Amino acid sequence: MEKYNDFPGRIIPTKVAIADMFGSKYLLVNMCGNLVDAELYNGFVFSGNLMYEDYGNKYKLFLKSKKIVGLPGSGYIYRIHSSSIMGSNRTNAFEVEFNNKIIAIQHLERLIFYLEISNFELGYFYDLYRQWLDGQIVKDNGWTIEEQEKSNNFILKRKKLLEKYLKNNDGV
């Protein structure tokens, strides 16, 4: 991808790769379409059978890797089959989107936990998470008023919990 040319030698800093979890500017979050040294998987526990499990796992590889390189071109074919999570029947658009939002938050909060353990750029990533939460506030997307309120209340509660946590931990 041309975006990788932003980095000398297409070597992407770990901080940038992890930050991509909050916005996917460089599309680094997906587990598919990657070449990974098998040694990085030693001790790696992959949480499966979850929607968007990439978000709950890829950063673990970023934290363990010595170098992240963006390769030009694409050599990947994606296939969805009816029994996959992605191919499952989706009837209620709001419930699907709301559940996906909950899953995304769980993954990002797990990421923050791992960053705390690693003591890796905490202030920067707390700010990214705040911004991401702000971006999840629904304004007008075709949902009913009640659905928008349910979603927004959930996001605001997560943001309050984050602020309370940071206050109790001296802003870490």
Q: What is the pLDDT of residues 90-100, one digit of tens each?
A: 567 889 889 98
Rg of the chain's alpha carbons, rounded to an integer?
Answer: 18
Task: Report helix angle 93-118 to 122-135, nearest 10.
Answer: 170
Give the separation between CA 35 and CA 52, rounded to whole angstroms: 19
DSSP letters for 68-115? EEPPSS--------TTSSTTS----HHHHHHHHHHHHHHHHHHHHHHH
CB atoms within 10 A of CB 26: 18
SS3 of residue 12 by DSSP: strand
pLDDT of residue 29: 80
The pLDDT assigned to 159 comes to 95
Q: Is the pLDDT of residue 172 over 70?
A: no
User: What is the arithmetic mean of pLDDT over 7-15?
Assistant: 93
Q: What percent of the chain has pLDDT over 70?
A: 83
Confirm if 16 and 26 have CB atoms less than 8 A apart.
Answer: yes
Kindly tell me if the per-residue pLDDT of 114 is higher than 60. yes
SS3 category, 83 = coil
pLDDT tens for each residue of 24-42: 888 888 777 678 888 888 8
More confident residue, 106 or 33: 106
Is 70 exceeded by the pLDDT of residue 61? yes
C-alpha–C-alpha distance, residues 167 and 170, integer Å: 5
Range of the domain at 27: 2-168
Q: Tell me, what's the pLDDT at 1?
A: 59
Q: What is the Cα–Cα distance from 128 to 13, expressed in whole angstroms?
A: 16
The average confidence (pLDDT) of the chain is: 83
Q: What is the tally of structural domains in the chain?
A: 1
Give the residue with greater pLDDT, 3 vs 123: 123
- pLDDT of 51: 66
3-state secondary structure of 11: strand
pLDDT for position 54: 74
Say whether pLDDT at 83 is over 70: no
Q: What b/e sequence results for 34-52 when a residue is b if at least 16 CB atoms lie within 10 Å of its CB, and e otherwise?
A: eeeeeeeeeeeeeeeeebb
